[in-house]
Structure 1
Amino acid sequence: MASTPGNQKATHLEHSRGKKSQHAEEAIFYMNCRAAYLTVLKSSLENIKSKEQLSLVLQQAGRNPSQKTINKYWTSQTPSLNFDDFCAILRKEKPATKNELLEAFGKIDTDKVGYISHDELCKILTTRGDKMTWEEVTSITKQADFNCNGKLDYNKFCELYLSTREQCCKAARDRLETDPRLRQQHFGNQTENVPEGTTLPVSKHSPGASRKTDHKLAKGDSRAPSRPSSAQSSKASTCTTVTVGASSSRNTKLIIEPDTMKEWQWAQSRGCFYLEENGEIISHKYRLHLPQRSALWITIKPFSIPQAQGKSCHWLSVDTALFILKENETQENLQLVSFTELQNKEMFGWRGELGSGIYWLLPFTTGCRLRKEKTQIPGEAKLVWRDEDGELALTKEFRAALLDIFETIDLDGNGLLSLEEYNFFELRTSGEKCDQEAWAVCKENFEMKKNELTRQGFLDLNLMEANDRDGDPWDLWVTLLSLGYNRALEMTEACPFVIDIWAERCKPRIKAISLEAGGSQLSRALCRSVLNKGEAKVLDGSESIFIHTYRSGSRITSVIENKSENKVIIHVNNEQSKNCLNNRGLTVFAVEVAPKSMMVSQHVMALNEQEEWIYSCVHSLVC
């Protein structure tokens, strides 16, 4: 039944409100991060240099880290942590809620009287879970409200703990608001040891911008400040402006007639981008073998899963690209050949001629649209149910999600899962491979054809997993969440894609080799592609700092090249940009570039492709 215009409008309004809520939450998160950081350190560009400083900034952010937690993020190999590292830690170390605290105390209070003794508390805290030292326990119990009988009313203690935590956070925020010097600290930081292709959490506007400024930017107001807050003290700067018309970013055609490729030989492989908890993106990597020199036509695009038709496919708006590298003697010695820069809607392609040999195909996405989901899911989908005989069965919704997953992990698209394909799935969901012996057991218990698992066999395997836990869906949810699904069974933190290769004079062979982050090879290829194709500007007043800007279809990428013998800190200001979304999630930030190196400053895309967008960025030398 077709939806009415009124329903469409209501859905659009609800979607818009969800986006605004998401941006607001992200802004509050970064405000709290910055407030806590600047309570301990003088600037967001200053790094945390010790465990003690790390503990202090975490406490200012309302966390109460144990020594074990500190040691997890500060090892013997940690020289320092920057502001971005701190934000990533806060995303992982969520503050405990009152219900979680009460539940934990309730496990100690087996008699459910509402009290626990001093000795019980000390024993639990020093012997179980994330064990505390006696010194840490003593510092807690000194503040606890024990009565004369040595018992703690843990309900009151939880209220005291939560109110103290909020007061600490509020004090940090108040200090930030009242100190003009601190209010100018809108910096993000990324050191040279972070790969250029690494993606960071994204939001529409900088959390450092005022509510009033955010409103102006969202409406495309040109009255926003044209200079970064620290520009007056900068030694050198340059501004780059690119205006892109509505939908023009998708108008570049892949000009090749189907008849031209009628006799060409074809190969295909599917794959997927997966979003990690820390915002990093991993994907399949491929090896391409060409037995002889040939003209080629290579494309990559988000994969529209047949079972997903009629549902909201978030990933179809995710940008994709493919970098082609030539293997010379070793896998470590890869040379950039080219990348997919032609575009038609969501498809990107490359056409050219390659000699015989081994090539690597490295998929890439900017992270502008593939990002952590912030919207709250009102309810959790049901995965299994019991029939009249008490037997477990998969729900209709879960079966549909599993069939979608099957299409994604069936890399060769033959409707069956080989052991190799199944192991990519296992590595992603459990971190372990299935050996030949275990595969033989699968063959005995589940439907297979030609020693490959069928769709029905894959469904039955998941049903068996539910039966093993007597209907407890915990393991099933681990699988779903690791594959990018949310609790409503929507794939929101993954993007399946498909790569097609046509060769004129030989049969191309493509094979998935690994599932991992892009790494240094992709980072170098990305930077090199921008240097080769983009426009270069030297920072005014500096002879050794270059800003390279390249527009490839629907995205703009800028790379900072530092030819000097010293590291530099570059301040990046996007306040004049309109209708833009970048991969860093900050309107104003700073990056640290090592001597004699280059790194990606940012990737930028249109927030709404149906409207004109303007990329206007000022890069300034801080030091």
Structure 2
Amino acid sequence: MASGPGGHAPLSNQKSIPWECSRTKKLQVTEEELFYMNCRAAYLTVFKSSLENIMSRDQLCIALQKAGRNPSQKTIDKYWTPQTAKLNFDDFCAILKKEKPTSKSELLKAFKKIDVNNDGYILHTDLYKILTKRGDKMTPEELSAILNLADVNVDGKLDYNKFCKLYVTTNEQCLKTALEKLEIDSKMRLQQLGSHLEGSPESAISPIAKPSLRIPRNIDQETMLNRGDGRNSSLPLPARKYKTSVSFNISMGANSCRNSKLLEPNSLKEWQCAQSKGCFFLEENGEIISHQYKVHLSQRSSVYLTIRPLNLSQEEGSPSPWLSVDTALYLFKENEGQANLQLMCFTELRNRELYGWSGELGSGLYYLIPFTTGCWLKKEKKHITEEAMLVGRGEKGELFLTKKFRSALSDIFDIIDLDGNDLLSLDEYNFFELRTSGEKCDEDAWAICKENFDTKKNELTRQGFMDLNLMEASDREGDPSDLWVTLHSMGFNKALEMVEACPFIIDIHAEKCRPRIKAVHMGSGTGHFEKAICKSVISKGDVKTMDHENIFLHTYKSDFRITTVLENKSEKKVIIHVNNELSKNCLNNRGLNIFAVEVAPKSTMVCQHVVPMNERQEWVYNCVYSLVS
């Protein structure tokens, strides 16, 4: 149910320990900021810019080695699956949070396992047999690189104490050199860029650093897991020189978001309806994923499509934090023989927490992708001083689930019960399993589950779900570690508050036929989805031109959201500096007032989404976009 170290569930809130290094300049930065600065320095030993992507397994391996990691083949396989096409800088940071650096003590422990004489030396012949024939094998060339180091080899033996010291020193020097280069290079400082997700510091010049030594990988890789979360704020951007600048100034009245423009069709009660629940989940790297759906209409019909946050049972006087999260739906038509899905519509209207669209759709199969800007659903910064109790013991020593934990589990049950029948089918349960452990429950395991826990109509009841979690706690003799992995993956913090997830409910009404909706996937909807957002903004928004009609800024405004898309028609990449400091009562998805983005040649990208911080007050979007020289 809960994942172990090798799973894909979100990680705990333990902070990563930053690499120790000397600084050429005294900066008052947080531990979190230092971690991301270190990440960027390591990344830039491999790539010219941290906006470049990792495009292969080899690049991932090299980048991790530059960061002082010791990735085994198993580790690389975990992050570069057959479905992986690329990883970005944010993904790299997330990996480094999970895979902690190998310490000198860990290396010595690994070497001592093969030092049969316990004399501090290992024969080259023995080392060759072990490291090229067993476990995660090294190539002869890789081993030769170690054996050719004069300072640690003598008379056909490896002095592994000296090697471990050399390895640690080399890693520290590698990072120190990269950081020093990063801080003294004025051009580099001018190009600290906000990331595509939350504005991590960026750079565009590659520093030169000593290569990291590769060490034997036949050690226990489970000790490499370092769980952590959190994102940093970008350091202040220095003064820049700009080719040109354009600005947008949009004033929105108080309560503009409450305008009841979304009106139900008069005869809606007579229409047929299909409903499904789902949830947005915030990943460790800041990405937001959700359930995605297929919708089928048997004939052409008028349709009323809505999405709203799901109001779960909450303590009195404690409003659900996710009810303020903005939501939307994008509907695509599946056209046979076409590689790209066709965007049909998206929800542009709103009535309080309900976002919707109404119109006419033809018969056929559609893809429905939920969306949220990320302005409100962000990594939690609240510090939890006391961890909630999940289990307790009765007078006779028997385990029980605490009242607060049972309440959280009941909310989780309501979220994963997609069809709302108060039972969990195998398909519904597997969405939960994939989210919390990365693996599906097969038919045999499901049969065993039904034999041991309360079911109805071959589906798991709420009580059965509770008992399943109690059994997991019992199997661990009351250790709640795995239960916490499940809770974190479902968006709960240590106080059992759901702060990094937003459950929602979708309704589809059709006038002339019964619509069908089925959750088919859990993901971010990237690729064609990103293109669809850009296309919708370009087609409906206002446009301003920069740099001789090569660079275009498209701004789409609704009563409750402003979205800007950057379009680069030139043959070279461009860097756009964005300044929101004059905006009032506004919140953007990047969490920064000042940041910069890099737009690839002949491409478009979403620059930012902006929503009002307080909907009862006037909000003013005043943003200056400048082309960096």
Tell me by how many angstroms 1:560 deviates: 2.6
Instruction: State how many pairs are aligned.
Output: 552
Name the SS for the 1:328 alignment partner.
coil
Distance 1:531 1:44, change over 3 A: same
Go from structure 1 to structure 2 and tell me whether the alpha carbon gap of 1:374 and 1:561 turns closer, same or farther (over 3 Å shift): same
CA contact (8 A) 2:262 2:356 kept: no
Task: Give the corresponding residue for 2:557.
Answer: 551
**Contact 1:60/1:172, CA 8 A, preserved across alignment:** no
Q: 1:170 to 1:368 in 2, by over 3 A?
A: farther
Tell me, yes or no, if structure 1 residue 573 matches structure 2 residue 573.
no
- Secondary structure at the aligned position of 1:458 is classed as helix
SS at match of 1:471: coil
Match in the other structure for 1:361 = 368
| 1-structure distance, mates of 2:440, 2:501 | 21
Pick which of 494-503 and 581-590 moved more.
581-590
In structure 1, the residue matched to 2:188 is 182
Distance 1:492 1:104, change over 3 A: farther
Name the aligned partner's letter for residue 442 of structure 1. Answer: C
CA contact (8 A) 2:275 2:517 kept: yes
Give the letter for the 1:568 counterpart: K
Distance of 2:317 and 2:472 partners within structure 1:
29
Question: Equivalents in 2 of 1:78, 1:404: separation in Å?
Answer: 33
- 2:273 equivalent to 1:274: no
Deviations 1:344-370 (A, max 9, x none): 333311122223333221111223333
Q: CA deviation at 1:302?
A: 1.7
Aligned counterpart, 2:210:
none
The 5 Å alignment of 1:231-380 reads: 231=242, 234=243, 237-245=244-252, 247-248=254-255, 250-256=257-263, 260-307=267-314, 310-311=317-318, 313-329=320-336, 332=339, 334-380=341-387
Question: Judging changes above 3 Å, is the alpha-carbon distance between structure 1 residues 400 and 84 closer, same or farther for their aligned structure 2 residues?
Answer: closer
1:53 to 1:390, Cα distance in 2 relative to 1, 3 A: closer
Q: Look up the match of 2:216.
A: none
Once structures 1 and 2 are overlaid, which stretch shifts more, 386-395 or 449-458?
386-395
Query: CA distance change for structure 1 residues 166 and 407 in 2, over 3 Å: closer, same or farther?
Result: same
2:545 is aligned with 1:538 = yes
Would the alpha carbon gap of residues 412 and 68 (structure 1) be closer, same or farther in structure 2, given more than 3 Å must change?
Answer: closer
Q: Match for residue 602 of structure 1?
A: 608
Deviates most, 364-373 or 580-589: 580-589
Q: Which TM-score applies when normalising by structure 1?
A: 0.73
Across the aligned residues of Structure 1 and Structure 2, the Cα RMSD in angstroms comes to: 4.6
Q: 1:453 aligns with which of 454, 460, 467?
A: 460
Alignment of 1:377-526 (within 5 A): 377-526=384-533
Per the alignment, in what secondary structure is the counterpart of residue 323 of structure 2?
helix
Q: 1:137 to 1:456 in 2, by over 3 A?
A: farther
Q: Which amino acid aligns with 1:569?
A: V
TM-score (ref. length: structure 2): 0.72
Shift in Å, 1:581: 4.2
**1:508 offset after TM fit, Å?**
2.6
Once residues 413 and 522 of structure 1 are traced to their aligned partners in structure 2, the CA distance between those partners, rounded to angstroms, is 27
Contact 2:543 2:553 in 1 (8 A): yes
Separation in structure 1 between the aligned mates of residue 544 and residue 419 of structure 2, nearest angstrom: 44
Whether the 8 Å CA contact 1:240–1:616 is kept in 2: the answer is yes
Q: Relative to structure 2, which stretch is displaced further, 386-395 or 453-462?
A: 386-395
In structure 2, stretches of 5+ residues that fail to align are 1-28, 154-158, 198-228
CA distance in 1, matches of 2:297, 2:145: 62
Residue correspondence of structure 1 range 93-242 to structure 2 within 5 A: 93-95=99-101, 117=120, 134=143, 172-173=178-179, 175-188=181-194, 206-209=234-237, 229-231=240-242, 234=243, 237-242=244-249
Q: Distance in 2 between matches of 1:382 and 1:525?
A: 45
CA distance in 1, matches of 2:541, 2:354: 21
Equivalent position SS for 1:243: strand
Bigger mean CA deviation after superposition, 386-395 or 330-339: 330-339
Q: What secondary structure does 1:525 align onto?
A: helix
User: Are the counterparts in 2 of residues 28 and 207 from structure 1 also a CA contact under 8 Å?
Assistant: no
CA offset at residue 189 of structure 1? 6.6
Q: 1:102 to 1:314 in 2, by over 3 A?
A: farther
Seen in structure 2, the aligned counterparts of structure 1 residues 239 and 206 have a Cα distance that, compared at 3 Å, is: farther
1:557/1:602 contact within 8 Å kept: yes
Summarize deviations over 1:273-300 as a string: whole Å, max 9, x none.
1223333322111122233333322211
Higher fraction of helix:
1
Q: 1:215-256 deviations in whole A, cap 9, x for unaligned?
A: xxxxxxxxxx7xxx141xx4xx45231334475452332442
